Amino acid sequence: MLRREHESVRSGKGTGEFLTAEDYKKIQYYTQNVINETLRGGNVVKFVHRKALKDVRYKGYLIPAGWEVLPIFGAVHLDPSLHVNPQQFMPCRWKVYI
């Protein structure tokens, strides 16, 4: 399915022609689902540094202004309460039903 999507876009290009932003917009949902699932399972950035600019209350806790917070993406991306079989590569988990 992924290969078919790419070949359909590529077939409209001449030899040596590069894909453009418009070409990428033509690539359908399955490719984007594969990208989303790849980033979920193996994100290049494991965490980010954030600083609280003001006091923040979160789930009954106080994060004082000036404190640094390190959200760890893997804690969310691999959480079985948020993703069924989080260790399994499943692009279909991103399918949007329209």
pTM of the predicted model as reported, rounded to 2 decimal places? 0.58
Per-residue pLDDT, 96 = 65
Beta-carbon count within 10 A of 40 CB: 20
- Whether residue 39 contacts residue 68, with contact meaning beta carbons closer than 8 Å, is answered with no
Residue boundaries of the structural domains of the chain: 2-94
- Whether residue 9 contacts residue 25, with contact meaning beta carbons closer than 8 Å, is answered with no
Beta-carbon count within 10 A of 97 CB: 3
- Convert the pLDDT of each residue in 21-40 to its tens digit: 787 777 767 788 888 899 88
Q: Does position 66 have pLDDT exceeding 90, yes or no?
A: yes
